[in-house]
Amino acid sequence: MVGDLVKSAVDELASLFAQYHTVIGCTGYAAGIDTPMKPAKAALQARIPRYFPWQFGVDFDVIGRGSPQDIFDAQLDVRELLRAQTQTEWVIISTGMFMSYLFKPEFGVVDLKNSEVHALGSLDTAVTLTTPEDIGKLTAEIVFAEPRIRNKIMFLAGDTVTYGEVADKLEAGLDRPFSRSEWTVPFLMEELANDPQNMMRKYRAAFAQGRGVAWDKAGTFNERHGIPVTDVSAWIDANLRLRSR
């Protein structure tokens, strides 16, 4: 069965979801700011037993409303909707930033060509990172965990590092020096004000504030269960070492 999150009405999606016990949202934000709420409403209307919304990111509760990234408010709306009902169990999985995203040239934090790291907020600002591959593996573990996990937020982490530590790890992994600079919150907010619809600038400003974007790896699901994951040094070694030569 095939549905369309953009074109299909909530009723149509609900009819599709009703055929399943568990629905896991893997949509991202490509369809816009309404993407998180539409499948959530469909899941509740379908009265499915279990729903995993697309919340594979930061701790929206800690960040709160009104952050530079308005999509985060849409995610809080979904949390409120799910918490206000009892018929469908929900599980939210917080992963931090996708690890590969930190190294995207367009994100601007890591400039491999010029051997530079631009720290969001400060060099001491921390960020939690997890690879998509580990997110998929750990989500499956959570789905089938016994006793069943229900109505909880589960935290994952491949690594939690400061931007200064990211520069250190790049130097160690690629065997060359990296310069460091800080993109402060006022600087990033001014950049966003000059281009308020720029998605990258929204993310940079939100992560620079350092609130709800990092947590101790020791308390995560993967660490408590001894499940191996990829840390930043291993990711650099696997993805950047050959490219840098």
List domains and CATH numbers for the chain.
55-239 (3.40.50.720)
Q: By three-state DSSP, how is residue 171 classified?
A: helix
Q: Which residues have C-beta within 8 Å of that of residue 92, sequence separation ≥ 6?
A: 52, 53, 55, 79, 152, 153, 154
State both tokens at 35: 């993407």
Tell me which H or E stretch contains 92.
strand 89-94
pLDDT, residue 243, reads: 61
What residue ranges in 95-199 does DSSP mark as E strands? 97-98, 110-111, 116-120, 126-130, 152-155, 159-162, 179-183
Antiparallel, parallel or unpaired: β 110-111 and 152-155 = unpaired
For the record, the structure tokens of 198 come out as 């720029």
What whole-number distance in Å separates Cα of residue 132 and Cα of residue 111?
22
Task: Provide the CB-side half-sphere exposure for 35 (13 A, CA).
Answer: 15
pLDDT at 69: 95
Cα angle: 207, vertex 212, 158; to 5 degrees: 85
At 244 the pLDDT is 53
Confirm if 18 and 46 have CB atoms less than 8 A apart: yes
Question: CA separation (Å) from 175 to 148, 169, 224, 240?
Answer: 46, 9, 33, 11
Query: Given this model, what pLDDT does residue 20 score?
Result: 97
C-beta atoms surrounding 13 within 10 Å: 21
Query: What is the residue-level pLDDT of the chain in tens, covering all 245 positions?
Result: 788 888 899 999 999 999 999 999 998 877 778 888 999 999 999 999 999 999 999 999 999 999 999 999 999 999 999 999 999 999 999 999 999 999 999 999 999 999 999 999 999 999 999 999 999 999 999 999 999 999 999 999 999 999 999 999 999 999 999 999 999 999 999 999 999 999 999 999 999 999 999 999 999 999 999 999 999 999 999 999 866 55
Cα gap 81→160, rounded to integer Å = 30
What is the per-residue pLDDT for 5? Answer: 86
